[in-house]
Amino acid sequence: MSEVILNSSNFEQEVLKSDIPVFVDFWATWCGPCRMVAPHVAKLAETFAGQVKVCKLDVDEAPEVAGAFGVSSIPTMVMFKNGEAVATRVGAANPAVLEAFVKQAL
């Protein structure tokens, strides 16, 4: 399963109304650390296929969504469960750290 690209129109349906936990990577094209973690985020989509929906939201394209969740620095990763943000991590991370972040929210 690949990552779901989020925007202001599909955020509620894809994230808040999801019946499985959702990992959201708040990022931007100009952000170096965001580009560094992108392959690790893509791997999470494979590793947790069927268990966790992995999504990406470009903060430049949906600033109102990023603002609603207090995202002021990127990359920021947020785990959502039952429509609620249950965990947040700011900054680039290696694959093991990202995997542990997802697992602790399952």
Yes or no: say if 43 and 75 are a contact pair by the CB < 8 Å rule: no
pLDDT value, residue 44:
96
User: How far apart, in Å, do the first and last CA atoms of the chain sit?
Assistant: 18
Give the model's pLDDT for residue 105: 87
31 is catalytic: yes
CB under 8 Å to 7, separation ≥6 — which residues?
Answer: 57, 58, 61, 62, 65
> In 3D, which of 28, 89, 88, 29 has the Cα closest to residue 59?
28
* 34 annotated active-site: yes
pLDDT, tens only, 80-106: 999 999 999 999 999 999 999 999 988
Q: What is the CATH number of domain 4-104?
A: 3.40.30.10
Which among 6, 24, 31, 45 is annotated as catalytic? 31
Residue from 15, 22, 24, 34 carrying the catalytic annotation = 34
Identify whether the C-beta of residue 44 lies closer than 8 Å to the C-beta of residue 3.
Answer: no
Ranges of the chain whose pLDDT falls below 50: none
- pTM value is 0.96
pLDDT at 2: 84
- pLDDT at position 57, please? 98
